């Protein structure tokens, strides 16, 4: 795991596996951790690193309900988890799926001794909406913007004072758009259009997978992803993967996307 400081109030941790990101945000004596790193030893390291950096943790947030974004309580067992309304509804009906997926990952990668996934109390957050972080002169507003298409649920967090966009499993420099149950090409493309103005204002973008990058690159990735999805809708068999992401694992994702679109059509 490595840590990247993007702003005095923002630190991003990048997991050794899948480059999954975990973002710590603070405002005075209050702070949130958005999403999670993957391995137990990475999670165990978070509290000490954040304490040394002077980052309080008042609660946890997640961008969506996929299991690899829900592990924050492994680092902060007493913290409550905030999620968009759609994510809370999804987890209420399909938490067992996330638990099974985590167990399958641990078995495949020989991860031993991790306790079962436990989310504790879930706080439903209105999306679109906002959160206040801190008080008085150190107070900031975190904006919540709806995302969808990858799954049926999703939230992007815009930190206007830091000019940082935490967008979940969108705008990734290492993954192509991935369509999962509940997602769709049309909704995914609408999400990209919604993220565009935020990315244009940002200095940094934090994807769900991939190290944070300067926002100029985000608009390039957005254009590549839009072109990929348009081609996927029109002629799935003739799609060209974005340059730099045409790797064997992403070709497997593309094959799954083709099957998804074909079944949906």
Contacts of the segment 185-191: beta carbons below 8 A, 24+ positions apart: 185/149, 185/229, 185/232, 185/233, 185/261, 186/149, 187/148, 187/149, 188/148, 188/149, 188/150, 188/229, 189/149, 189/226, 189/229, 189/230, 190/148, 190/149, 191/146, 191/147, 191/148, 191/149, 191/154
Please tell me the predicted confidence (pLDDT) of residue 61. Answer: 97
**77: which residues sit within 8 A by CB, 6+ positions away?**
120
Span 226-240, average pLDDT = 91
Span 98-121, average pLDDT = 90
Please tell me the predicted confidence (pLDDT) of residue 229. Answer: 96
Alpha-carbon span 161 to 9, nearest angstrom: 9
Span 125-131, average pLDDT = 95
Q: How confident is the model at residue 161 (pLDDT cuts 50, 70, 90)?
A: very high
Please tell me the predicted confidence (pLDDT) of residue 130. Answer: 94
Statement: residue 217 has pLDDT above 80: yes
What is the reported pTM?
0.95
Tokens of 237: 């068999």
Please tell me the predicted confidence (pLDDT) of residue 174. Answer: 96
Statement: residue 173 has pLDDT above 90: yes
Please tell me the predicted confidence (pLDDT) of residue 30. Answer: 94
Q: Residue for token digits 């005075």?
A: 28
Please tell me the predicted confidence (pLDDT) of residue 42. Answer: 96
> Topology of 2-222 in CATH?
Metallo-beta-lactamase; Chain A (3.60.15)
Please tell me the predicted confidence (pLDDT) of residue 96. Answer: 84
**32: which residues sit within 8 A by CB, 6+ positions away?**
24, 25, 57, 58, 59, 60, 61, 82, 131, 133, 142
Please tell me the predicted confidence (pLDDT) of residue 121. Answer: 80
Write out pLDDT tens, residues 50-59.
Answer: 999 999 999 9
Residues 142, 133 contacting (CB under 8 angstroms): yes
Please tell me the predicted confidence (pLDDT) of residue 186. Answer: 96
Statement: residue 15 has pLDDT above 80: yes
Mean pLDDT of the chain: 94
Q: Between residues 115 and 197, which one has the greater pLDDT?
A: 197
Statement: residue 95 has pLDDT above 80: no
Q: Using alpha carbons only, what angle is made at residue 111 by residues 67 and 181, rounded to the nearest 5 degrees?
A: 25
Residues 188, 150 contacting (CB under 8 angstroms): yes
Write out pLDDT tens, residues 188-204.
Answer: 999 999 999 999 999 99
Q: How confident is the model at residue 109 (pLDDT cuts 50, 70, 90)?
A: very high
Q: How confident is the model at residue 120 (pLDDT cuts 50, 70, 90)?
A: confident
Span 84-88, average pLDDT = 95
Beta-strand (E) ranges in the chain?
2-7, 10-14, 21-27, 30-34, 59-61, 81-84, 122-125, 129-133, 140-146, 155-159, 164-168, 204-207, 213-214
Domain residues of the chain, as ranges?
2-222
Q: Using alpha carbons only, what angle is made at residue 127 by residues 226 and 77, rounded to the nearest 5 degrees?
A: 105
Please tell me the predicted confidence (pLDDT) of residue 264. Answer: 77
Residues 209, 175 contacting (CB under 8 angstroms): yes
């Amino acid at each position: 795991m490595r840590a990247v400081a993007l702003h005095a109030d923002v630190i991003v941790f990048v997991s050794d596996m899948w480059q999954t990101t975990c973002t710590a945000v603070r405002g005075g004596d209050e702070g949130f951790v958005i999403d999670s790193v993957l391995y137990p030893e990475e999670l165990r390291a978070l509290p000490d690193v954040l304490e040394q950096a002077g980052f309080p943790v008042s609660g946890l947030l997640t961008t969506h309900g996929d299991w690899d974004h829900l592990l924050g309580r492994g680092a902060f067992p007493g913290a409550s988890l905030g999620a968009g309304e759609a994510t809370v509804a999804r987890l209420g009906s399909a938490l067992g799926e996330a638990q099974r997926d985590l167990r399958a990952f641990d078995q495949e990668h020989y991860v031993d001794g991790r306790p079962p996934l436990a989310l504790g109390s879930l706080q439903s957050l209105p999306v679109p909406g906002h959160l206040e972080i801190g008080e008085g002169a150190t107070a900031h507003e975190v904006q919540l913007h709806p995302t969808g298409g990858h799954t049926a649920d999703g939230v992007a967090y815009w930190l206007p004072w830091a000019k940082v966009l935490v967008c979940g499993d969108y705008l990734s420099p290492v993954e192509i758009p991935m369509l999962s149950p509940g997602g769709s090409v049309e909704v995914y493309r609408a999400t990209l259009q919604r993220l565009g103005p935020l990315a244009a204002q940002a200095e940094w973008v934090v994807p769900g997978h991939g190290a944070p990058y300067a926002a100029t690159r985000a608009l390039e990735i957005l254009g590549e992803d839009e072109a990929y999805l348009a081609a996927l809708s029109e002629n799935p068999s003739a799609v060209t993967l974005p340059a730099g992401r045409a790797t064997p694992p992403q070709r497997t994702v593309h094959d799954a996307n083709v099957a998804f679109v074909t079944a949906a059509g």
